[in-house]
Structure 1
């Protein structure tokens, strides 16, 4: 699969990461678009069926696919998996952990506690961002993961109303006080992107909304329940421009 085809998957399935990747240098897009296309496909897997067993089989299928040869010359490979031929064993293991964490999306139980939510966000958003960063040559794993977890929380809180409508229990306690506490804790743990190397900054462009979104939630946690977490299109683009510069 070409990078352009992966870009179309990201454009349709994850438009914010599409915008962030288009702000990255062209050479980096050959890494980022296949990774984000993979993430779209895996994230979608638990939601395309209401049968838990079928959802588990789809995730296992991706694990099996990821574990095999990632050669674009092999016609038996899935197209997105074939585009991930640049992955080394360490990155493949990170994405395997991401798939494993997505099994939580199949059920309806909330995360047991803050530590369980932290682990979920680290295995999903954190593993994805660190795979991108290490593939681009970055070495600052802790800082990249902290930025990615914050962005993951912002996305997670924005999705709360939709998750609850689908019968999920995203948080054991989704009171405004608990939501504010989460936003405060993750904000306090975010490093400044300008302190990172250039490869790490490129890999974490996709986190550009995390700070303003979590700041808004901290000020008014009830916006989560109202489904009012988000920036205007103009605000998104201005902040992304500032982050990319």
Structure 2
């Protein structure tokens, strides 16, 4: 707020100065005010009250909006926990933009705000925002800088989904999952730090599976949107990709819907009993399951020192810059060590996604079944057991 005395001084100045001088006075005062209200927030130690408060905020946000990630945070290396929570909180903030804006223009402004926030954070001048403060503190304390490219890619992918919702085919859905959920895993790995072709290869398939499953979870919410401002109870990243004008949409790939003979209007009228809907859900869920099977196969090949069955299709994309020995013939022992370091990060989404797909199969792919929207109470026990076996 502008102090009252500023107006008093300005009022007196207008009577003492000519119009030209008065105009110059106001311009100078406005510049001074603008420069003082944007306070620079220097990164602080992770043990400082500011950083602790920021971490508590991020942890609470993840606990409330993305409970599986909060549960699985116990398997992340302790020193990297602040970065993990900051990155997951960032993902929640970006994913829920469609829920808190009334039109795409405001949504684009929110995305630009986060672009600026990330740029300022990496420049050492984070705004007073918990995610930015925690991330900046982590970078200063550890000297580790996550890959900035992945932050910007997630923002761009979410913004594109906001302005151009829907998927023309299942390949477009996979591209979206790669640009959001797989990229979220790359970002978390870079915060360890770990720059590994083998780890990224496994993370790509796990992320695609998680992203496809998230879009499936969002089908009931988009077909029958809840009242405004009820978004806080929705899990993060549910594939919500349209403005919150409460219009009903079925966010399944168009080619799958066409092949299965399911129409939007039929879903709006009959919900889960719409003809062909379960077949469409089965087709999309099978693609998610295929990616998990591929990820497990890669994991086993790396652990048994076998040659990988296929190359990483994104290894030449922006952000995937590896040492020459990784691109050509990385030693098998090095691959195993990289995967051991990455396991706690990759394992979580793989397990939670597989458990949800199993529940979907048990209800015969009825995406509207109430049991699919309940918390998976077995997740902590399953994660503990899989962690002991180093599998997912």
TM-score w.r.t. the length of structure 2 is 0.56
> SS in structure 2 opposite 1:159?
helix
CA contact (8 A) 1:71 1:82 kept: no
Matches of 2:191 and 2:154 in 1, distance apart?
16
CA contact (8 A) 1:133 1:200 kept: yes
1:244 and 2:387 are equivalent in the alignment: yes
Query: Could you say which residue in structure 1 is the equivalent of 2:133?
Result: 82
Structure 1 gap segments, 5+ residues each: none
Query: Could you say which residue in structure 1 is the equivalent of 2:173?
Result: 117
CA contact (8 A) 1:45 1:58 kept: yes
Aligned partner (choices 149, 158, 180) of residue 93 of structure 1: 149
Cα deviation, residue 67, structure 1 = 2.0
Matches of 1:58 and 1:153 in 2, distance apart?
25
Query: Could you say which residue in structure 2 is the equivalent of 1:45?
Result: 97
Cα deviation, residue 19, structure 1 = 0.6
Query: Could you say which residue in structure 1 is the equivalent of 2:317?
Result: none
Structure 1 residues 32 and 75 mapped into 2: Cα distance closer, same or farther (>3 Å)? closer
**Alpha-carbon displacement from aligned partner over 1:129-158 (angstroms, at most 9, x marks no partner):** 111123222512111111122122222212
Matches of 1:110 and 1:132 in 2, distance apart?
27
CA contact (8 A) 2:94 2:155 kept: yes
Cα deviation, residue 47, structure 1 = 1.3
Matches of 1:108 and 1:100 in 2, distance apart?
12
Query: Could you say which residue in structure 2 is the equivalent of 1:185?
Result: 287
> SS in structure 2 opposite 1:237?
helix
Cα deviation, residue 236, structure 1 = 1.9
Matches of 2:59 and 2:387 in 1, distance apart?
19
CA contact (8 A) 1:35 1:132 kept: yes
Cα deviation, residue 57, structure 1 = 0.6
**Alpha-carbon displacement from aligned partner over 1:204-244 (angstroms, at most 9, x marks no partner):** 23312112322443565532133542675432222122233
Matches of 1:211 and 1:102 in 2, distance apart?
24
> SS in structure 2 opposite 1:84?
helix
Structure 1 residues 180 and 67 mapped into 2: Cα distance closer, same or farther (>3 Å)? same
**Alpha-carbon displacement from aligned partner over 1:173-202 (angstroms, at most 9, x marks no partner):** 272222212222221222126756122211
Structure 1 window deviating more from structure 2 (224-233 vs 180-189): it is 224-233
Matches of 1:34 and 1:75 in 2, distance apart?
13
> SS in structure 1 opposite 2:101?
coil
Matches of 1:220 and 1:244 in 2, distance apart?
28
Cα deviation, residue 106, structure 1 = 2.7
Structure 2 gap segments, 5+ residues each: 1-50, 226-247, 263-276, 304-335
TM-score w.r.t. the length of structure 1 is 0.86
Matches of 1:75 and 1:119 in 2, distance apart?
31
Aligned partner (choices 89, 108, 131) of residue 56 of structure 1: 108
Aligned partner (choices 116, 131, 151) of residue 210 of structure 2: 151
Query: Could you say which residue in structure 1 is the equivalent of 2:250?
Result: 169
Cα deviation, residue 51, structure 1 = 1.7
Question: Computing the radius of gyration over CA atoms, which structure comes out larger, 1 or 2?
Answer: 2
Matches of 2:131 and 2:57 in 1, distance apart?
9
1:102 and 2:158 are equivalent in the alignment: yes
**Count of aligned pairs:** 243
Cα deviation, residue 105, structure 1 = 4.5
